[in-house]
Structure 1
Amino acid sequence: MIGDLSKILGPVHRRDLYRYLNWLIAYAVLQGVAIAFLVPVLAAMMHGDMKRAGYGLLGLALMVVLVAVAHYRQAMKGFALALVVLTTLHDRLGAKLVSLPLGWFSSERVGRLSRSATGGTMLVTNVFAHLLTPVATGILTPATTAVALLYFDWRLGLTVLFAAPLIFLLHNWSSSWIARTELQVDAAGVEASNRVVEFARLQPVLRAFGRTTDGYLPLDEAIEEQRRAGGDHLSATFPRLLVAGLGIHLAFAALLAVGVTLVFAHALDNVELIALLALSARLASPLAEAAARSGQLRMAANDLRRLADIFDQEPLPESGHSMPMSDPGSVAFSEVVFGYRPGEKLINGVSFHVPAGTMTAIVGPSGSGKTTLTKLIMRFHDVDSGSVRMGGSDVRSLTTGDLMAQIAPVMQDVYLFNDTLEANIRIGSPTASQAEVREAARLAGVDDIVERLPFGWRSSVGEGGSALSGGERQRISVARALLKRASIVILDEATAALDAENERHVQNAIRTLKARSTLIVVAHQLSTIRAADQILMLEDGVVVAAGTHRQLQASDPRYCAFWQERNRAQGWRLTGEAVP
């Protein structure tokens, strides 16, 4: 857990963390020594030796002062570290996230990230404020007291040492079980959170089919699983905490039995026994506190591990400067092999060249690897073998900034920020003039949208673009690409689900993009495929055919079958009547 805290705080504050831990250890040990001073003081007082008792009290007073100083120092350093977390954790998370490859951001990881980022700050501050100190003192203070007991009477000291493994085993069994059940609670919580978001996003579909009154089964099941996991966690926690506490009291009972036996055997003075039992009683309280908090600490350790795991993620290796591009606007794959998991070959030995200023359409059945090719161009992932070149340079030899400056992606699923219409287009080029923004919008057919919205260019598009239709969001995405004037534009099924009007605007914009950029299009629309300078047909991660539409129709039966299938799909309505 200390290693995870170090990663979360960062290298700048690592030394402060270890200083805090040193003061915490000093506080716990000094507290044990101060408690040990009770034995000679009590023994002297019971024997009536006031001079010896006075010396003992002086020593106890000195130790109390040292304990107070150590307590103050560790508390102040703990508060300082908690303040560091409050003020820097989100910034450090943001800095880490922008260094990670885009392929890392799967929906599952984003859900986990959201949960860790929102609860992580208070979690880490809670560790410093409420958990580490009682657990550390609950272990180290009794350990110091046990060593002192061994010095005062070796037989009672050995009794404590023999009882220590039992206490440790019960404590470890209890906290480990609690930590395991917490993992189940956390997993159920993440699943429930994902289903809530899904339920909100699917409201149009659910309402269309009348599924709002009877509930949403995946959400209901996730909430029920979360309730069950929470109940199991509670029912498992308290009995195990009681067992761990029982072990402590059994150890004290054994110590008492040994002490009484020694008194009856005249091997120990009863006054010394009372003093030593007073010392031993101080073992039970901090141990019980540690046992009560250890389960919470183990649960916190699980959360810390999940948070530290984000900082453990390795960014894609990146050189300090980009290699010069000898052929700007071109893209080339050379014997590329790639899979998302070890041993997998989703892309298997793919080679092709896209000349600058041309349009290449990538076609093929679902799951053949079309979108994966576009992700490799944008370096969402690194290839397992082979190379992907842009402008004549390997994408791995380009900085992320220089690489993405060459690319304008237009995806099927468009996300718009909760800002104005103009601000969402300006993302393509924040420094563009107003005239350039208006021209890009005109070419993408956004003018119609501006006229419809109540505040024109200053209208808010809503969270995720909720104020606009899917086709309108797509037009804004195309306007971004037009404004960016990137040398390479990637369109991943950009027109697959558009109505006739939106498709017309997007197709017009594509023609403008084709005149100024290299286009790589994952295509299903026949008009887009036919207009391409080069068509690559993929099957099972392999390019099985390449050429123009005319060449492939004349020479490749697989492409002919694909073309006929697409033609039939677009030539029939749902009623079964052919379109003239």
Structure 2
Amino acid sequence: MIRQLLAIVPPRERTLLRTVLALQTGGAVLQGVAFVLLVPALRALLGSDPGSAWPWIWSLAGVAAAQSVVYYLGAKKGFEAGASLSRVLHHRIGDHTAELPLGWFGPARTGELSTLTTQTVMAIMRVPGYLLRPLVNGLLTPAVVVALMYAFDWRLALAATATVPVIMAVYRWTTGLTEKADTIRAKAMTDAAGRVIEYAEVQPVLRSFGRSGQGGSRALDAALDAQRDASHQVVRAGVPGLLGFTLVVQAAFTTVLVYGTYLALGGSLAVPELMALLVLAARFVEPMTEAANLGSALRSARGALAAVQEVLDVPPMPQPDHPVVPAGSSIEFDRVSFRYGTGTVLDEASFRVPERTMTALVGPSGSGKTTVTRLIARFWEVDSGAVRIGGTDVRDVTTEELMARISVVFQDVYLFEGTIEENIRIGRPDATAEEVRAAAAKARVDDIVRRLPDGWDAQVGEGGATLSGGERQRISIARAILKDAPIVLLDEATASLDPENERAVQEALTALTADRTLLVIAHRLQTVMAADQILVLDGGRIVQRGTHDQLIVREGRYADFWAQRNRAQGWRLGAMPAATDAGAAASYDPVGG
């Protein structure tokens, strides 16, 4: 565990931890020496000349005083190291995850990272301040006691030594009993944390269906039940082991007691010396019992260290040794294949988006449209083939350079808790106030600002909860306008917006996409018709390409798509015929029909 801890911290904290370890080691050795000094002190006190005990008593007092000083310094440094570990681990986890491919951040990562940065880091924080001292004492103090016991009676010392392998074997057995249960509990806790976060995020949906109370989320209930069951499993597995270890430790003391009594009855060991050595034997088993009682905490700390190390071992997004700056803003896919899990998402897809043109991606759900945009932004690495920007493979471009050339606007918009202005400024933090206002005006965000009492300082809430979907989209587009990147990747879904917001968002998109290379996942018929090039995706392949006029006269996926969209636009709400149930219901009124 100590090696694990030293491996994941930087040099300064490594030096601090070594200092703590040295102080705890010194304290454990001094404690063992103090215990051993009880033997000559008690032997003198119980013998024929009690006055001869004073030198031993003063020695014992001096060693105890030294041990107290070292203990104080070790405890102080231990708590300092714990606080430092919290800061360092949070920074290391944050810095490392910022370098990971965005494809790594799947749905389960929210709960995992939440647990990692809270419970896991707190478990590691406890190591230098709370767990290291009893652990070191449990190993070193008995070793010192047994080693120095040989100076007084080698027979009892040998008897104590003979019990050590048995104690260690039982300790390993007890650890093995709960190791698997601890792993299951850790996973259950991570799953439960993810479900709690999910439950909080979907409150609007649950409340709209009257399911926000008890039983509102079967998935959350199941996750919490699994966490409870896993905790019970740890207890059931741990109690027998803890009792077994305690019995073995007490059996070791009993062995020394019985053997010492046998020697005393045989006349080869004086009774005063036997009593003193039995006190020493008691001190031999006490630190081990204390360490055993912390076994669960020690296993949790080891598991926490392993969890942090697992995340830190995830390879970051590779950066080029010799970065290249793209010469333009064209986009090219060259026989690109990409698998996600066990399924093929793209299968040798090839196409080119010339500079300052608009390409529309159409196709059924799951055909790979969103994956195309993610690969351009290098959220994931392709399995084979190449994605090029301005003729340069994106793998030869630094992340900073690549992202500086791309603005991404998708349907699911996330706003950070803060003001409207702060959320727009994310697009370019060094922008002036005038530039922020200009971008906001092009995206029609100024309409929102005028409506809100706090204006530019209005708080948007976590995730933009205080704003409507269309208003969040406008702020997202304002970010992209402020960034002023030459390439825009857009999911222009506006079907769920009211007419006013849809018109405002479309005007904002017009301002964003002017004179830029645009790749859009198209949902609106007007967008598809206006595209310079249409790519039809199906089953991970480009099955058709061309302009609207070229594709509409051919049989295939695009013609089917166009017909379906036209039919969908013809749906109207109307009154039911008199012969059926009264009231309003959806009826089909085809366009032009």
- Provide the TM-score with structure 1 as the length reference: 0.90
Aligned amino acid, residue 306 of structure 2: R
User: 1:556/1:15 Cα in 2 relative to 1: closer, same or farther (>3 Å)?
Assistant: farther
**Corresponding position of 1:324:** 325
For residues 28-81 of structure 1, the C-alpha deviation after alignment (integer angstroms, 9 at most, x for no partner) is: 233223322333443344443669756655654564455345434433432331
Q: Is the 8 A contact 2:551 2:559 kept in 1?
A: yes
Q: Is the 8 A contact 1:141 1:286 kept in 2?
A: yes
**Corresponding position of 2:577:** none
**Corresponding position of 2:256:** 255
User: 1:372/1:295 Cα in 2 relative to 1: closer, same or farther (>3 Å)?
Assistant: same
User: 1:318/1:244 Cα in 2 relative to 1: closer, same or farther (>3 Å)?
Assistant: same
Quote the Cα distance in structure 1 between the aligned partners of 2:435 and 2:76: 56
**Corresponding position of 2:5:** 5
Quote the Cα distance in structure 1 between the aligned partners of 2:552 and 2:102: 37
Residue 554 of structure 1: how far off its partner (Å): 3.8
Quote the Cα distance in structure 2 between the aligned partners of 1:364 and 1:10: 49
Quote the Cα distance in structure 2 between the aligned partners of 1:37 and 1:317: 60
Q: Is the 8 A contact 1:474 1:494 kept in 2?
A: no
Quote the Cα distance in structure 2 between the aligned partners of 1:176 and 1:299: 13
Q: Is the 8 A contact 2:336 2:385 kept in 1?
A: yes
**Corresponding position of 2:570:** 571
Residue 204 of structure 1: how far off its partner (Å): 2.6
**Corresponding position of 1:337:** 337
Q: Is the 8 A contact 1:471 1:502 kept in 2?
A: yes
**Corresponding position of 1:356:** 355
Residue 249 of structure 1: how far off its partner (Å): 0.6
Quote the Cα distance in structure 2 between the aligned partners of 1:528 and 1:316: 34
User: 1:197/1:68 Cα in 2 relative to 1: closer, same or farther (>3 Å)?
Assistant: closer
**Corresponding position of 1:117:** 117
User: 1:525/1:169 Cα in 2 relative to 1: closer, same or farther (>3 Å)?
Assistant: farther
Q: How does 1:61-72 map to 2 (within 5 A)?
A: 63-64=63-64, 66-72=66-72
**Corresponding position of 1:278:** 279
**Corresponding position of 1:470:** 469
Aligned amino acid, residue 587 of structure 2: G
Residue 257 of structure 1: how far off its partner (Å): 1.9
For residues 194-251 of structure 1, the C-alpha deviation after alignment (integer angstroms, 9 at most, x for no partner) is: 3333333333322322224553133333333334444444455444323321221111
* Stretch of structure 1 that moved more, 470-479 or 198-207: 198-207
Gaps of 5+ in 1: none
- Provide the TM-score with structure 2 as the length reference: 0.88
Quote the Cα distance in structure 2 between the aligned partners of 1:214 and 1:122: 31
For residues 168-208 of structure 1, the C-alpha deviation after alignment (integer angstroms, 9 at most, x for no partner) is: 23323334444543444443333333333333333332232
Residue 412 of structure 1: how far off its partner (Å): 1.0
For residues 88-138 of structure 1, the C-alpha deviation after alignment (integer angstroms, 9 at most, x for no partner) is: 443343333322222222232122212222335543332222111012101
Q: Is the 8 A contact 1:179 1:295 kept in 2?
A: no
Q: Is the 8 A contact 2:181 2:233 kept in 1?
A: yes
Q: Does 1:190 align with 2:190?
A: yes
**Corresponding position of 1:15:** 15
Provide the secondary structure at the position in 1 that maps to 2:329: coil
**Corresponding position of 1:532:** 531
Q: Is the 8 A contact 1:132 1:297 kept in 2?
A: no
Q: How does 1:196-207 map to 2 (within 5 A)?
A: 196-207=196-207
Q: Is the 8 A contact 2:325 2:401 kept in 1?
A: no
Quote the Cα distance in structure 2 between the aligned partners of 1:315 and 1:153: 60
For residues 492-516 of structure 1, the C-alpha deviation after alignment (integer angstroms, 9 at most, x for no partner) is: 3543533433333333333333322
For residues 249-281 of structure 1, the C-alpha deviation after alignment (integer angstroms, 9 at most, x for no partner) is: 111112222222333444544443323222111
For residues 515-574 of structure 1, the C-alpha deviation after alignment (integer angstroms, 9 at most, x for no partner) is: 221111122322222222122222232222222223333445233233333333333347
Q: Does 1:315 align with 2:326?
A: no
Quote the Cα distance in structure 1 between the aligned partners of 2:301 and 2:455: 50
**Corresponding position of 1:172:** 172
**Corresponding position of 2:580:** none
**Corresponding position of 1:415:** 414
**Corresponding position of 2:442:** 443
Quote the Cα distance in structure 1 between the aligned partners of 2:460 and 2:322: 38
Aligned amino acid, residue 78 of structure 1: G
Aligned amino acid, residue 195 of structure 1: R
Quote the Cα distance in structure 2 between the aligned partners of 1:154 and 1:346: 73
Residue 391 of structure 1: how far off its partner (Å): 2.1
Quote the Cα distance in structure 2 between the aligned partners of 1:169 and 1:365: 61
Q: Is the 8 A contact 2:493 2:524 kept in 1?
A: no
User: 1:212/1:317 Cα in 2 relative to 1: closer, same or farther (>3 Å)?
Assistant: closer
Q: How does 1:277-316 map to 2 (within 5 A)?
A: 277-316=278-317
Aligned amino acid, residue 537 of structure 2: L
Q: Is the 8 A contact 2:20 2:74 kept in 1?
A: yes
Q: Does 1:508 align with 2:507?
A: yes
Provide the secondary structure at the position in 2 that maps to 1:350: strand
Aligned amino acid, residue 373 of structure 2: T
